[in-house]
Structure 1
Amino acid sequence: MTVNPALHFVGFRGDEFHSAVRIWGRPDFIHPDWDRWAQQDIHPTDTVIFARGTDADPLARFTYPHCG
């Protein structure tokens, strides 16, 4: 089975989003916070871009349900 790597943006909330899109392209997934939902969505072949911090940061304690 072939896995297509996805691009994830985590924690972007403003103009930095547009800057990241110029550099990396449009993300496949946008995660408001680094929480358990974001962590579970990421495959080892994916690329994850954080507005601040890294995947080593503690997960957000309170998460918001996905909209859409």
Structure 2
Amino acid sequence: MKIGDIEFRKEALFLAPMEDVTDPSFRYICKRFGADMVTTEFISSDGLIRDAWKSRAKLNINDFE
């Protein structure tokens, strides 16, 4: 399977975005246990416009992701 320039193994494992679950620690654990691709949950544009700390914290993405 290929998405853009990223090529995955035949039976790739993806982590679905789940609200208040897919924080950086959870994504790290999933990646360490074999997830090929992890992602953060959806981020509210209203929260970003209003500079809500909770929405901005969801933008923290690490290199391993």
TM-score, shorter chain, exceeding 0.5: no
Greater helix share, 1 or 2? 2
TM-score of the aligned structures, taking structure 1 as reference length? 0.30
Q: Which has the higher strand share?
A: 1
Largest Rg, 1 or 2: 2
Provide the TM-score with structure 2 as the length reference. Answer: 0.31
